[in-house]
Homo-oligomer: A and B are copies of this chain.
């Protein structure tokens, strides 16, 4: 855990330069606009420790799998998020000395991520070895409005000298993925050229043959006036640059404006790609930096109007929730159903593929409540489009007749992961994908999604479960063997309660969905049944049999669901009794010791209780929470938020607040010592959930919005806004009261603290605060 980020409600601030923190800051200060993004690398040369990263959405490379020991069924390739052309490069030579923060003396340094403007600003003063002292200020952003473009304003002011500064503004396609399995570079050059005032570079990925055309335009200003200098064009393999040499004077500011575009063949014809790049570049150059920045600020204002969470009395918490929301918006805008929310977004390479079950389990509820419905629908359609691949994936493992197993990790629908205990066994992901369909319909009320897309996916998933489950002559029950649950600190267990529970839920919901579509769209049902060759009698009879006779491990004495068969054979120790030196277990203990211990990485039984809360009375929830939470080490970024929500529900606000801080400041404070690899983007949606579902107590039950707001002790108040079926509701909670405002023209009857209230169009409502479990 670290604590170097300054608290501020709207800004993320680093002061002073510590090279050891640089890779962490590169992650935290990342920029993105859903279409492209980048780590907060320096524009000028930096020879210190850095993880260079520029990413273009949807562009990936299938890197040949590398494992110690091959297991049948492993995927041949891992589709990796690609480090792409670096467009920020502005190398500076001052009187023949290269400006490099690793070699000169840094007198002053700050880095600021402004979440209202969507900009990254860096200011520093340095003394070079030649004695020259200079100030630099650089502002850059990835434009939300022109989402294929970015801009940089880089200002140099000599402090104690007159002289010459050489500037090289570049596009560098000669980049590598740090996680390349065979130390191979993934890009080849298509073309590199100067065209008018622009430098252009078009690169192609090996194997996948994606093209990315980048272009830059660079202008130099002094005393606020553009210098009339033409750049010298320079090129080497996979690299183009514009070079300038200018005379500078003490205290005179020299400003470099750099405009860059990155267009991908995912969005343009290859034949037109370079021309399109030139056109976009012309547009943004014509707009100019100031206008672009103005539009950027306006676009962010709109985002915040819809999605802000305001916390009074706790600036650390306020900063954190905004940081989480800001990074989610930078990663995914929901306009393109081919894209998804990668675990590291545009902030690092780690975990490769772009989609885990995180999307369905954690991110979807955030977008349901804060974004236009199309965004959530696109997330669902992404999986619909991968159904065929999921069926192929299941076939590869020996399943048949249309059974679908969605991949653990994917970009294009094909499985990428290659650890047998995860790839083949952490199959609860299939349940989360079905649950997301249910959740989407529960939230939006859009039953028709089932007939259009949902049911086919549900049938494929249900068939998988029906084949994956087998009859035990020993137990005279159906069992599910060889499972890794959400708690990845157990592998290859039998009868994981969560997985068995979500599996039979999938069967039930699919049967229900068939009935619903039958009632509403009988013709479409017939088409789906024909397309999927569905045998209504045989398959549903089998499913019903499984639903009736499934085995779920329980301990009657303790009154809890058992995480898996044999969980109580483990030595029962509590996390509070673990020596501090043993934490985090995943860095301190051998893997077998972790596996044999009772310690839990993240919500497992409790994940099921979170999803299916309505099925359990409050005392059952409390017994399971009281049993499992003390055994949970929360070493997954996805753990604290679920616990925050359940703790809040049970009235344990202190623990809920603790979990909230842990999830919300996970990256800002580098809780798990891994922020340098990139941010935990998907768990950021969990942070939002822990406020809105946790403290706000938001639920959807029976087509109705439910709230049960409670206030953590440390907060003066908090407020959030949610969209629910055409209504937009602002909720503010302080010690005395809960204030609601309907900001839409749609009246809404909602349930607060267990009672129905109607909020008229544009109406307001005030209730006294309560603190009780719900």
List residues of A whose CB falls within 8 A of some B CB. Answer: 65-69, 71-74, 396-398, 418-421, 424-425, 470-475, 479, 481-482, 491-494, 565-566, 568-572, 586-596
**B492 and A569 contact, CB distance less than 8 A:** no
Nearest residue (CB) in B for A422 is B69
- Contact partner, A72, options B65, B69, B569, B589, Cβ 8 Å: B589
CA A165 to CA B425, docked complex, whole Å = 63
CA A420 to CA B419, docked complex, whole Å = 11
A179 nearest CB across to chain B (Å): 11
Label chain A's interface by main secondary structure.
Answer: loop
- Contact partner, A492, options B72, B397, B419, B491, Cβ 8 Å: B491
CA A636 to CA B418, docked complex, whole Å = 24
A493 nearest CB across to chain B (Å): 8
Residues of B contacting A470 in the complex (Cβ-Cβ under 8 angstroms): 569-571, 596
Residues of B contacting A589 in the complex (Cβ-Cβ under 8 angstroms): 72, 398
Q: A68-B419, A69-B419, A491-B492 are in contact. Are A479 and B590 (CB under 8 A)?
A: no
**B419 and A568 contact, CB distance less than 8 A:** no
A409 nearest CB across to chain B (Å): 12
Nearest residue (CB) in B for A479 is B569
A570 nearest CB across to chain B (Å): 6
**A72 and B471 contact, CB distance less than 8 A:** no
Residues of B contacting A421 in the complex (Cβ-Cβ under 8 angstroms): 421, 491-492
CA A177 to CA B566, docked complex, whole Å = 44
**A482 and B595 contact, CB distance less than 8 A:** yes
CA A594 to CA B474, docked complex, whole Å = 20
Show 8 residue pairs from A and B whose CB-CB distance is below 8 angstroms, ordered by the A residue: A66-B68, A68-B68, A68-B418, A73-B593, A421-B421, A482-B595, A492-B493, A494-B566
**A66 and B66 contact, CB distance less than 8 A:** yes
CA A593 to CA B405, docked complex, whole Å = 14
**A593 and B68 contact, CB distance less than 8 A:** no
- Contact partner, A398, options B73, B566, B587, B590, Cβ 8 Å: B590
A74 nearest CB across to chain B (Å): 8
Residues of B contacting A591 in the complex (Cβ-Cβ under 8 angstroms): 71-74, 420, 424
**B397 and A592 contact, CB distance less than 8 A:** yes
Nearest residue (CB) in B for A481 is B596
A646 nearest CB across to chain B (Å): 25
**B590 and A396 contact, CB distance less than 8 A:** yes
**B71 and A68 contact, CB distance less than 8 A:** no
Most chain B CB within 10 A, of A421, A471, A493, A591, is at A591
CA A424 to CA B470, docked complex, whole Å = 29
Residues of B contacting A586 in the complex (Cβ-Cβ under 8 angstroms): 72
Residues of B contacting A471 in the complex (Cβ-Cβ under 8 angstroms): 571
CA A92 to CA B69, docked complex, whole Å = 40
A69 nearest CB across to chain B (Å): 5
CA A69 to CA B66, docked complex, whole Å = 9
5 A-B pairs besides A421-B421, A470-B596 with CB distance below 8 A are: A72-B589, A73-B591, A398-B590, A470-B571, A472-B569
**A568 and B73 contact, CB distance less than 8 A:** no
Residues of B contacting A74 in the complex (Cβ-Cβ under 8 angstroms): 591
Residues of B contacting A420 in the complex (Cβ-Cβ under 8 angstroms): 591-592, 595
**B592 and A425 contact, CB distance less than 8 A:** yes
- Contact partner, A474, options B72, B396, B481, B568, Cβ 8 Å: B568
A597 nearest CB across to chain B (Å): 9
Most chain B CB within 10 A, of A68, A418, A491, A565, is at A68
Residues of B contacting A474 in the complex (Cβ-Cβ under 8 angstroms): 566, 568-569
